[in-house]
Amino acid sequence: MNTFEQSEALQRLPEQFFAKLVKKVHKMKKQGHDIINLGQGNPDLPTPPHIVEELQKASENPKYHKYSPFQGYPFLKEAVAEFYKREYGVDIDPEKEIAVLFGAKTGLVEISQCLLNSGDLALLPDPGYPDYMSGIALANAKTEFMPLLKENDFLPDYQKISADSMEEAKLMFLNYPNNPTSATATKSFFDETVNLAKENNICVVHDFAYGALGFDGQKPQSFLQSKGAKDIGVEIYTLSKTYNMAGWRVGFAIGNQSVINSINLIQDHLYVSLFGAVQHAAAKALTSSQEAVQQLVDTYQSRRDRFIQKLNEIGWEVEAPKGTFFVWLPVPSGYTSEELANVLLEEAHVMTAPGHGFGASGEGYLRVGLLDDEDRLEEAVRRIEKLQLFMKEK
């Protein structure tokens, strides 16, 4: 059999970090171990029944058995605009300021290919979602990392980016509530970002995947709530986390018209939009009662509170996250992130994600997903306690 060499673009792609994690877990499960998998970001609860029922009914409609309009049905874009107006007070033009995506990940990879040429510079959060790198690699562009440090509330310090880099950069990725640090951003931070981007002609891409998941009664801030945000960037939203629709692959890019046009153009050459019945159900999710979303937030907050309490009881001092369904755990001295993750997996059978997999500034942390029920989360802590890695306060 002939072996055909991969293109240079494919060879530039980074290793799929999460694929490695999954392989590790599968290997140990095959060996008969009971693995508590807290290393991934895959929601564990089902899609709310009223959304599933809407899909079931809509799938019988022969209209949806044909090709969908290339850029999505107008009713879905109108639902997105209604959602943003209701939730964030932001006015969106459904026709010109929304692109339908095959999940947020698709948009986050595509946008680099839309706006970057070979050798162009993009600014990335460190640590950050690894797939931001994928689109940049396909575009053969360059990266400069913006460290997210505890002393700055895991926000980038724009004063530490050189004037030359600011002038050269074409694209900046941000993500709040943040994966993996679980930090949230303020309106003043986004206001500062808008002003900086305008001064330097940088397109801002705000990944708002965890936009619904804010705790203690605090609603996460949309980037588009800052004045002028649509002039210099887009926000990318997904139904995966808000409505437990990860497998449905429904997302949107919202904002700057020229960027939306570029995303629509590349997708015209790749797809014929989402199955119409999925779009129909997605519109129902966005415009119907949001009670299920509040119940979901309450569930994650309850899990968070119990998990953090039990960790602190065994001597692992951890701050409660303000958003997302992740906890960013500081690694005790004597271990690297990967070493501790391996110890927890091999000796406690608890899977976590080592922080360095999200970037150099993630070293010294583990990311844990609150994606199992409270009893299993407590069981994970009991297993960790037996390793005697932490000394309780006397």
Tell me the pLDDT tens digit for each residue of 258-312: 999 999 999 999 999 999 999 999 999 999 999 999 999 999 999 999 999 999 9
| Residue-wise burial string across 307-328, b where 16 or more C-beta atoms lie within 10 A, e elsewhere | bbebbbebebeeeebbbbbbbb
Task: Kindly state the DSSP code that residue 126 receives in the 8-state scheme.
Answer: E
Q: What is the pLDDT of residues 316-359, one digit of tens each?
A: 999 999 999 999 999 998 999 999 999 999 999 999 999 999 99
Are 279 and 198 members of one domain?
yes
Q: Are 353 and 366 in contact (CB under 8 A)?
A: yes
Q: From 238, 270, 287, give the residue that closes a domain.
A: 287
Give the structural domain span for 27. Answer: 11-47+291-386
Mean pLDDT of 221-239: 98
Mean pLDDT of 68-82: 97
How far apart are the C-alpha atoms of 392 and 379, rounded to whole Å? 18
User: Number of structural domains, the chain?
Assistant: 2
228, 319: one domain: no
The CATH number that applies at residue 22 is 3.90.1150.10
Quick check: 128 and 175 in contact, CB under 8 A? yes
Q: Do 169 and 247 lie in a common domain?
A: yes
Give residue 27's pLDDT band: very low, low, confident or very high (50, 70, 90): confident
> Is 5 within a domain?
no
Among residues 243, 268, 287, which one ends one of the domains?
287
65 located within any domain: yes
Shared domain check, 134 and 178: yes
Q: Could you tell me if 91 and 202 lie in one domain?
A: yes
Residue 138 is part of a domain; what is its CATH number? Answer: 3.40.640.10
Does the pLDDT at position 392 exceed 80? no
Is 394 domain-assigned?
no
* C-alpha to C-alpha distances, 309 to 303, 315, 320, nearest whole angstrom: 10, 10, 9
